[in-house]
């Protein structure tokens, strides 16, 4: 048999074996909440989350990330095995998601960026407060981002007073092609510009933006916190809440760097600090071993082979990406694929899961 034929026979055999043995569908959630505004589409409502768990129980079994990864490594992985993960450590993972996980006896891993515990909001949240919640904004803004100066001017008709009260602006999200007002365009543009920046530089830009908005930013933030009683909108757990989340044997805490930076943009020494420190801090706070990691943002451009080496060297056993796919035999345990879950109802979720497992 020629080498080429042998190669293709092996490929077919692997495909058949994968079909028979199945694989692991790792799900990626962020928030379980019903915020008034969700421009990044991070929230799944508590009702929908419960429907999702019912669907998973109906279709197969939910196991911990650790068990699934160990089973894959050992070459035994039943069909339709599901893993639930959350990125970013939002407080609603404790208040809303955990009771539903407990009710359904479903395990989950929550990846927490340690530098945000008990304090600093994510930049996308700050931009939402500063730009989308403020009633009025100044006509001129300028920011230096990287080495580049960016300036925007807006007339007050189209910008400052443009948030409608019919709910249309609140339903807007970044997947919509159009921007209902220039301020939505600015929010989108700044999210893109800040994403690749290191944590400290990003904070400096947000500080400069807040300074130009004067009191308007903090006013908007106060108003946002009051609105609909959603005082915890977008907040990450504090240390006590982290411990409450970790207590029991259903929720594993995983690391997600310190500052939620795009690791591929950092020198390797700084990557190592981000990865090692996040693990050390989470372990010190919880008194539990932290063995799982998730790359911030997690797409293929957000981490490199060097990053994988750093994560392995720092003592982790596995790491999750944010790339869709079923984890099958032979998968790299340091690049586990995950399917991003949106706020679908049970039927919509079941349809997608069936499609994923049949791929």
Q: How many residues bind Zn ion (CB under 5 A)?
A: 3
Dihedral angle over CA of 207, 164, 154, 233, nearest 10: 10
Q: Give the start-end residues of each E strand in 249-359.
A: 251-255, 292-294, 318-320, 339-340
Q: Which is nearer to Zn ion, 87 or 343 (CB)?
A: 87
Closest listed residue to residue 23, CA positions, set 58, 60, 54: 60
Given the rule CB under 5 A, which of 10-18, 83-91, 186-194, 346-354 is the region that contacts Zn ion? Answer: 83-91
Residues 17-36 that bind Zn ion (CB under 5 A): none
C-alpha 173 chain-centroid distance = 16
Residues 163-202 that bind Zn ion (CB under 5 A): none
Minimum CB distance to Zn ion, residue 111 (Å): 7
Q: Does 274 bind Zn ion (CB under 5 A)?
A: no
Q: Which residues pair with 28 in a beta bridge?
A: 85, 340
Long-range Cβ contacts of 60-64 (<8 Å, 24+ apart): 60/357, 62/104, 62/106, 62/107, 63/107, 64/107, 64/108, 64/109, 64/252
Minimum CB distance to Zn ion, residue 8 (Å): 39
Minimum CB distance to Zn ion, residue 40 (Å): 11
Cα–Cα–Cα angle for 268, 269, 271, rounded to 5 degrees: 60
Minimum CB distance to Zn ion, residue 184 (Å): 22
Q: Does 87 bind Zn ion (CB under 5 A)?
A: yes
Closest listed residue to residue 55, CA positions, set 358, 359, 348, 356: 348
Q: Which of 51, 69, 88, 128 binds Zn ion (CB under 5 A)?
A: 88
Q: Which residues pair with 151 in a beta bridge?
A: 142
Residues 282-311 that bind Zn ion (CB under 5 A): 296
Cβ-closest position to Zn ion: 87
- Beta strands 148-153; 140-145: pairing state: antiparallel
Minimum CB distance to Zn ion, residue 151 (Å): 30
Q: Which is nearer to Zn ion, 88 or 317 (CB)?
A: 88
Q: Which is nearer to Zn ion, 69 or 87 (CB)?
A: 87
Minimum CB distance to Zn ion, residue 342 (Å): 16
Minimum CB distance to Zn ion, residue 256 (Å): 6
Q: Which is nearer to Zn ion, 256 or 328 (CB)?
A: 256
Residues forming contacts to Zn ion in the complex (CB under 5 A) are: 87-88, 296
């Amino acid at each position: 048999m020629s080498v080429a034929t042998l190669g293709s026979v092996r490929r077919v055999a692997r495909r058949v074996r994968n079909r028979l043995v199945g694989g692991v569908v790792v799900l990626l959630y962020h928030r379980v909440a019903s915020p008034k505004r969700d421009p990044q589409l991070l929230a799944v409502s508590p009702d929908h989350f419960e429907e999702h768990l019912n669907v998973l129980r109906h279709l197969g079994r939910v196991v911990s990330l650790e068990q699934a990864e160990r089973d894959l490594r050992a070459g035994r992985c039943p069909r339709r095995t599901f893993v639930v993960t959350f990125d970013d450590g939002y407080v609603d993972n404790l208040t809303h998601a955990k009771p539903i996980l407990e009710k359904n006896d479903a395990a989950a891993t929550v990846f927490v960026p340690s530098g945000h515990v008990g304090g600093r909001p994510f930049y996308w949240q700050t931009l939402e407060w500063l730009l989308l919640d403020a009633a009025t904004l100044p006509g001129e803004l300028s920011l230096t981002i990287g080495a580049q100066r960016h300036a925007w001017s807006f007339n007050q008709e189209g910008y400052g007073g443009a948030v409608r009260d019919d709910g249309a602006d609140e339903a807007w999200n970044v997947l919509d092609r159009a921007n209902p007002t220039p301020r939505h365009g600015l929010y989108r543009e700044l999210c893109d510009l800040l994403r690749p920046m290191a944590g400290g530089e990003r904070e400096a830009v947000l500080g400069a933006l807040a300074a130009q908005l004067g009191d308007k930013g903090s006013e908007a933030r106060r108003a946002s916190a009051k609105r609909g009683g959603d005082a915890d909108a977008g907040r990450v757990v504090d240390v006590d809440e982290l411990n409450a989340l970790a207590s029991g044997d259903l929720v594993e805490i995983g690391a997600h760097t310190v500052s939620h930076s795009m690791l591929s943009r950092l020198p390797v020494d700084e990557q190592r600090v981000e990865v090692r420190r996040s693990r050390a801090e989470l372990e010190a706070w919880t008194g539990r071993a932290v063995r799982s990691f998730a790359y911030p943002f997690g797409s293929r451009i957000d981490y490199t082979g060097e990053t994988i080496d750093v994560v392995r060297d720092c003592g982790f056993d596995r790491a999750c990406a944010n790339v869709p796919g079923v984890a099958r035999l032979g998968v790299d345990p340091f690049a586990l694929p995950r399917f991003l879950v949106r706020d679908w109802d049970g039927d919509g979720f079941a349809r997608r899961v069936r499609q994923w497992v049949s791929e």
